[in-house]
Structure 1
Amino acid sequence: MSYAIPAPVVPSLPIIGSDQRFPVRRIFCIGRNYAEHAREMGATVDKDTPLFFCKPADAVVTDGADVPYPQATADLHHEVEMVVALSAGGRDIPADQALARVWGYGVGLDLTRRDLQAVAKAKSHPWDVAKAFDHSAPVSALRPASEARLDGDTALTLIINGEQRQHGRLGDMVHGVAEIIAILSTLFELKAGDLIFTGTPAGVSALKRGDQFHAELAGVATLEGRVA
C-alpha cells in the first residue's frame, strides 16, 4: 500500500528488561476513580456511571523526554495514575476474564489544563481541550503483568521537586482494573495496544516550568522527568 503522505510514526513505550517496545493504539482514561480526589474537585462519585475520556496516542511522552509546558493555559495540573496496557481486547468482556487481556503495567501523569477544564465544566462542554492536548500523557516503561506484583496496598506516589504531592493505594480505587476493562468494553471495542489510565488519588496541584517529577507505582514502575 502506498500513502499520499508519509505514514505517521506509531507511538510506543519502552519495556522494562527488553529491547522491544509496546505500540500504543489508543489511550482511555477514567475520571473520579478515587473518592478523595473527586471530593477535592467538588464532585461526587457515581459508581453506576463511570466517567471516561480519551487522549490521542501521540500524547505519550516517554524515554525521559522533557514535557513541554502546554500552550493556552496558566494552570497545568498533575494527576499521577497507574497505567494498564492491553495485549488483547474485545467487546462486552466479562470482568472475570478482563485481566487476561492485560499485557503490563506502568505509571503515568494525566496532565490537565485545569483552567480550560473549569470553563468546559461551567458550560457543560466536552473536556477535550483540557485533557487531550499534545504531550499530555507522560508514561513510564512498562513491566509485563507476569512480573508485576500488585494488590490493594500497592502505593501510587508523585513527588515534585523532592516534595510528596500525591499518595494513594490501589485499594482506594472505586473501580478496579478488571471492572474498568469490562465497563469500557461495553462502550468501545478494545484492542491490543490500548492504554488505560486508571484514575488519580487526592493531592492534584499546579506544575510550573522547571519542575522535576518522580512518579512511582511501588515495585512496578517509575517515571521521572521535567516540565520544560
Structure 2
Amino acid sequence: MKKYFVTGLLIWIPLVITFVVLAWIVNTLDQILLLVPATVRPEAFLGFHMPGIGVVVSLLLILVTGLAAANFVGQRMVGFWESALSRIPVVKSIYYSVKQVSDTLLSSNGQAFRKALLIQYPREGMWTIGFQTGAPGGDAAHHLGPDFVSVYVPTTPNPTSGFFLMLPRKDAIELDMSVDEALKYIISMGVVAPPPHRTRTPQPASALLNQ
C-alpha cells in the first residue's frame, strides 16, 4: 500500500503544483483588467467573468510595447521615460538595477548563462555546477587580471538565489550539457540527470570568452 500511495503522490504532486502556479499567474494577470473601466470589461459584454482574458491583454500589451519601442519615436519615448525615472532617488536605484539584470539575462546578444561549468565549491574536492556570466569588470578586473571568469552558482532547489564567484579560468571546466539541462539537474537535486552526450576532452573556461 505504501508503494502505491507514493506512486500516486509522484503523479499528482507535479500536476497539482503546475495547476496552482498557472492559476496564480492567470489570476494575477487578470488583475490588470481592474485598471479598465467596468463598462468596457469583457464581463460587461459577456455577462460573466472569463478567466484568462488578462493573460491575453498582457501579452498584447507587451507585444505592442515592443513594436512601439522598435521605431525612432518609440525609442525617444522610452528615453524620455527613463530620464524621468532617473530623477526619482529611490525609484532610480530599483529601476536601473532590475533593468541591468533583465537586459543581461534576456538580451539576444548577452553572454549570461551561455555555458554550464563544473567548479570546485565551496571547498577543494567538492564539485558543483555553475553558469558563466562573463568576466570580472570594474576595479575587480584591475586586481584580478584577465585570467578570471565570472560564475553564478545557483542554490538547490531554488536557482533564483545563489552565489557570484570570480575564479581562475583554469579552475572551471566546460560541461557538455545545455543550460536547460544543467538547470533541471540542479533543481531536481541531482535526481534528473542529463542524457549522455558525446564524450570529449574537458575544456577549461579559458576559451569560453573567445567563442
Q: Counting helix residues as a fraction of each chain, which structure ranks higher? A: 2
Q: Higher relative contact order by CA 8 Å / sep ≥ 6: 1 or 2?
A: 1
What band does the TM-score fall into relative to the shorter chain?
under 0.3
Q: Counting strand residues as a fraction of each chain, which structure ranks higher? A: 1
Instruction: Answer with 1 or 2: which has the greater Rg.
Output: 2
